[in-house]
Each structure stands twice: as structure tokens, then as C-alpha cells.
Structure 1
Amino acid sequence: MRWELSEEQADYRTVLGEWLGERCDAETLRAWLDAGDHATFEDRFVGEGWFAVGSSEELGGEGGGLIELAITAEELGRRAAPSSAWLGSMLALPALAAAPEAAKALLADGTTTVLACSADAIVGPAAGVTLAEDGLSGRIPTVLGAGRARRLVVPASSEHGTSLVLLDVDQDGVEIRDRPLTDRSRVASDVLLDRAQGTVLGGDASEALADAALRSAVLVAADGLGVMERMLDMTVEYAGQRHQFGVPIGSFQAVKHAAAEMLVKVEAARSLVFLAAAMVEAGRQEAPLHAAAAKAQVTAAASAAADSALTLHGAIGYTWEHELQIFYKRAKLDAPLFGSPAAWNERLADSLDLVGGPTEP
């Protein structure tokens, strides 16, 4: 099955792609990454209205839903655009449903509010942060976009269970330690809390975190789809330019087969991602299965496609000067980001009713 976007969604994808092509071309992106500058792009992304697409108009967003967010993630991945703060903010929105004023502030001016969950695992209740009378204390490793955040939504455990706490970063008791990543297009930090003060959000914390986990699966898978598409385009272009034995290497059957396999991965990934986005957005009972399948299968496929692209580029693909290395590293990070394919496959298996073997009479 091939997923087809609506005409309006396809137009949005085209317009966003053109905007990114102008604002985040390869030379500009490389300059940002060399300087460690993520703010320039992210501020422009907010200032020109893209940040609020895919969020409720009631909260000050531009409308749309998870499908539009998946389109955004796909196009950001296709350009390897700095977008850690955007993703962290989109994961925080389910928690902010109980704090509409904070959600409106986030969507209106891009006041970055990031979900403070470790990017090394599937989003869930925090294991290392406790909420007591004197505030929040603990450590959360590898929080995506925390270095760009003004506020954090922190899952914390207390005697009453799991709570979500909204706190300002600029206060005593909050320390943000940057953590370098091999993928320079993303940023992450460790968050250390020592009696930090915040506001406990209402609503069901477990439900909000479960929603954020499914959103993370869909959006990271969509990013992997975009990265995979870009690597396929680069590989096909290079195979038509690089000559051996007097002919383009793209004429060799082995190269054709490898490129065709990448194309099959891309087309299968597109259907997985957008079907999962639609299921999660609609709140369907089978949504967790689709989200798990998308995260596990698409990011694993993107990682494998990155290896194929590198092999087909040969020695030039290993060089710092060639842009393939940027997308290779992004694809490799997408696989473990917010849960590895193995972790999501386990969750998928746990959700299925497995049929046992024949029983003895």
C-alpha cells in the first residue's frame, strides 16, 4: 500500500521543501554546523511561522495534526536541518494540554519548552528525578534540545506517583551540561536538578507521556524517511557522474540493485510513517502497534540505507568535505533516538496476541 497525502498536505510539503531549500542549503548548513550554531535556523523557523504548523488553532497553532508534523519532520530530515528544540517542544505539547497558557506561549513566539526525557530510551516516567516539598532533584541524561530551552517539562516521581512539572531553566537549582553528539545537526544536554522550583501540571501524566512516546516514534521515523530520501538522491546522482572502465558506475548491475533496494526501503517507509501518524492522531486502539512498527522498521532501514550509500560513494563518502557524512550520522542517530529498533520491536511483540503451538489432547 502506498500512502497518498491530501492535496493540501502535498502543497504544504512542497512549500516547506522550497523554503528549506532556500534557507538551509548545503553550504549554509555546513557553516552552521561548523560554528555549532543551531539558533539561527531555529529562530528563523519560528519567525516565519513553520513552528506552529501541526498544532491546534485553539492553542494558537496553525492547525493540522500529526500528519503535518510528520511532513515537517521528513523535510527537516531531508535537509539535516537543526531541529532538536522543535522536536523536544512537539513532545512537550501533550503535557501542556493541562496548561493552555504555556502551550499558547510556546506556539505564539517559539518560547522553547522541551520535554525533559532522556533521548536514549522510549519516553516514559523518569527514573532519576524526585519531587519533594523542597522541589525537584535528580539527573536526566541526554535531553534533546535542552540547551536551547527556556522551560522544561520534567517527569518526576513522588509518593503520589508520576507528576509532570513545568519549570524555568533560568533559576538556581537547574544546570544544563551540553553533551557532544557525533551527529552535529542535533544537540543534547544532561539536566541536573537540585531542589528546582516549578509548577505541577494537571492532567494524567502517564497518558501524556504515552502520547509523547508515540509522537516521538512517528516523528523520528519521519526524520529517518527524509534522511533516507536525501541519501538515495545523492547516491543516484553520484552513480551517474562517477565513471569506471569508461562508463558511469550507475550502469553496473550491482549498483542498480543496491539503489533499487534503497528505493524500496523509502517507499515502504513512507507508508509506514504516515499510516502510523494517522492512527496516532485519530487515537485508534491499534495506534501503538503502528507507531512501534514505524520507529523500528523505518529507522533500521535508514541506518542500513546509510551503509549502502556510503559503500556506493566509495572513498569520497568517507571524507569530511562531502555532505554524505552529515546525513549518514543523522540516520545512525535516528535508530537509537527515543528507543532503539530492538526496544520498539519488543514493545510491538508485547502488544500482540501470540498464537501458541498445538496443545496435547
Structure 2
Amino acid sequence: MRWELSEEQTDFRSTLRDWLRDRCPSPVLREWLDSGEYGAFERQFAAAGWFSVGSSEEIGGEGGGLVELALTAEEVGRRVAPASAWFGSMLAVPALSTTPDAAKELLADGVTTVLAVPAQSVPGGRPTVSDDGDGLVGSVAGVLGADRARRMVVPVRHRHGLALVLVDADSPGVQVRGRVLTDRTRTVADVVFTGATGVSLATDPEAVLRDTALRAAVLTAADSLGLAAQMLDMTVEYSGQRKQFGVPIGSFQAVKHAAAEMLVQVESARSIVYLAAASVEVGHPDAPLHAAAAKAQVTADVAAAADTSLTLHGAIGYTWEHDLQLYYKRAKLNQQLFGTPTVWNERIAEALGLCAGEEPHSSFGQSFDKVSP
């Protein structure tokens, strides 16, 4: 099945692509990465109004939904833009739906509010922060974009069950410790709470985290889609320039077949991602399956496509000076981000009753504990 975008969505994607090409060219991107100035891009991104796309007007957004957010993530991935804080903020938006002032400030001014969950795990696992009556205690490892967050939505255990608490990142009792990733276009940090206080959000925390898990799956897959589309373009261009035996390597049958396989992966990924985004947005009964399939299949296929692209580029693809290394590392991280393909495939099998002794149901299981970045 081929998913068709509306004319408005196509125009939106084209406009964003042009904006990103102008604001995030490779030389500028490399300056940001070399200097560690990751906030420069996101400040421009927020100032141009892109933070508010995909959120309802009731909370200060520009309208649209998860499909528009997926289009945004796709184009951000195409430029390997350093947008960890934007990504983390978009995961936090559902939790802020009952706190319009905080949501409006985030969407209008880019006041980064990230969801404090481990980036290596599916959102919704057992919280590692508790409220003992004297403030929040515990830590969350590897929170995406936490190094630049001004606020955090923290899943918390307390005597009444699960809660989501909005905490200022610079308040007493909060420590943020940055971590270094192989993928320099993304940032994570460990967050430690030692008696911090915050405001409980009036939401159904379990429902919010379930929805957020699907949202994370779709947006990660969309980012990988953008990476794959650009790696395909780079590979085709290089194959037409590099010559062996006096002819472009793109004329060799083996190279043609490999590029054709990459094209199939890109086109199939596009349909899967857009369908999953629309399904989650409308609350379709099979939305958990669609989102899980997007995360499992697309991120795995794009990681494989990155290997193919690296092979077809030959020795130059391994060099620091070539941009392919940025796409390759990000594709590999996306495969692990918010749950590996294995974890999401297990969720599909569980939901369909394919596990021994299991009946089909829509409840999703626990997250995994550790990955290599």
C-alpha cells in the first residue's frame, strides 16, 4: 500500500525541507557538533514556529497531529539535525494537555520540557523515581535532551500509585549529568533527584505513558525514514561519480540491485510510518500494532540500509570528513532508541497471542534495561 499525503501536508514538508536546508547545511551542522552548541539549532527551530506544529490550538499549537509531527521528524532526520530537545519535548506534550499554560509556553517559546524516561527503554516501564513524602528521590538514566531541558515530566511512584510530576530542571534537588554518545547529533543525560519538588499533573499517567510509547515509536521510525531517504540520495550520487574500469560503479549490476533494495526499503518505510502516525492519532484499535511494526521494521531496515550505503561508498564512507558517518551512527542509535526491534516485535507477538500460552490482548509489557549507545 502506498500512503498519499494531502496537498497541504506535501506543501508543509516541502517548506520545512527548504528551511532546514538553509538553516542546517553540513558545514554549520559540523560547527555545532564540534563546539557542542546543540541548542543553536533548536533556538532557531522554536523561533520559526516549528515547535508548535502537530499540537492542537487549544494548547497553543498550530494544529495538525502526529502525521505532521512524523513529517517534521522525517525532515529533521534527513538533515541529521541536532534536535534531541525538540524530540523530548514532543513526547512531553501529551502529559501537558491538562496544563495549558506550560504547554503554551513550550510550544510558543521552545521552553524545553522533556519526558524524563530512559531513552533506551520503551516509555511506561517501572519508574525509578519515588516520592517518599519529602520530595522526589531516585534517578533516570539517559534522558533524551535533558542536558538542555528547563522542565521535566517525571514518572513517579508514590503511595497512591503512579503520577506524572512537572519539575523545574534548575530547582534544588535536581542534578543533570551529560553523557557522550557515538552519535554526536543526539544528546542524553542522567538525571538524579535528591528531594526535588514539583507539580503533579492532573492526567491518567498510565494512559499518557501508553500513548507516549506509541508516539515515540512513530517519531523514531520517521527520523529513520528521513535518514534512509538521504542516504539513498547520497549513495546514488556517489555511484554516478565514482569510477572503476573507466565506468561509473552505478552501472554495475550488483550496485544497481543494492540501490534498488534501498529504494524499496525507503518507500515501504514511508507507507508504514505515515499509516502508523495516522492510526495512533485517531486512536485506531490496531494503533499499538501499527506503531510497533513501524518501530521494529523501519529502524531495523534503515540500520541495514546504512550498512549497504557504507559498503557502496567504499573507503570514503568511513572517513570523518564524509557526512555518511553522521547518518550511519544516527541510524544505529535509532534502532536502539525507545526499545529495540526485538522488544517491539515481542509486543506484536504478545498482542496477537503468538507467544506460547498467551491470549491476544492489547496490554503491553515491560521495557528492557540496557543497550549500548
What is the TM-score normalised by the length of structure 1?
0.97
- Cα distance in 1 for partners of 2:153, 2:111 equals 13
Post-superposition CA distance 1:305-338 (Å, at most 9, x none): 0000000000000000111000000100000000
Q: Residue in 2 aligned with 1:236? A: 236
- Cα distance in 2 for partners of 1:134, 1:22 equals 49
- Cα distance in 2 for partners of 1:310, 1:142 equals 28
> Aligned partner of 2:348: which letter?
L
Contact 1:84 1:187 in 2 (8 A): yes
> Aligned partner of 2:201: which letter?
L
- Cα distance in 1 for partners of 2:84, 2:116 equals 12
- Cα distance in 2 for partners of 1:24, 1:106 equals 22
Equivalent residue runs for 1:251-262 within 5 Å = 251-262=251-262
Gaps of 5+ in 1: 357-361
- Cα distance in 2 for partners of 1:353, 1:286 equals 14
Q: Residue in 2 aligned with 1:18? A: 18
Post-superposition CA distance 1:199-244 (Å, at most 9, x none): 1111100000011100000000000000000100000000000000
Q: CA deviation at 1:127?
A: 3.1
> Aligned partner of 2:64: which letter?
G
Q: CA deviation at 1:132?
A: 2.1
Q: CA deviation at 1:50?
A: 0.9
SS of 1:51 mapped into structure 2: helix
SS of 1:81 mapped into structure 2: coil
Q: Which has the larger displacement, 246-255 or 124-133?
A: 124-133
Q: CA deviation at 1:125?
A: 4.0
Post-superposition CA distance 1:5-49 (Å, at most 9, x none): 000000000000000010011111111111111111100000011
Q: Residue in 1 aligned with 2:47? A: 47
Equivalent residue runs for 1:134-149 within 5 Å = 134-149=134-149
- Cα distance in 1 for partners of 2:105, 2:23 equals 25
Q: Residue in 2 aligned with 1:2? A: 2
SS of 1:335 mapped into structure 2: helix
- Cα distance in 1 for partners of 2:247, 2:355 equals 54
Query: Structure 1: which 4+ aligned runs deviate by more than 6 Å?
Result: none
* Equivalent residues, number: 357
What is the TM-score normalised by the length of structure 2?
0.94
1:300 and 2:300 equivalent?
Answer: yes
- Cα distance in 2 for partners of 1:241, 1:126 equals 52
SS of 2:156 mapped into structure 1: strand
> Aligned partner of 2:307: which letter?
D
Give me the identity figure in percent: 63
Contact 1:80 1:227 in 2 (8 A): yes
SS of 1:142 mapped into structure 2: strand
Q: CA deviation at 1:98?
A: 2.0
Contact 1:125 1:156 in 2 (8 A): no
- CA root-mean-square deviation: 1.2
Q: CA deviation at 1:355?
A: 9.9
Equivalent residue runs for 1:150-299 within 5 Å = 150-299=150-299
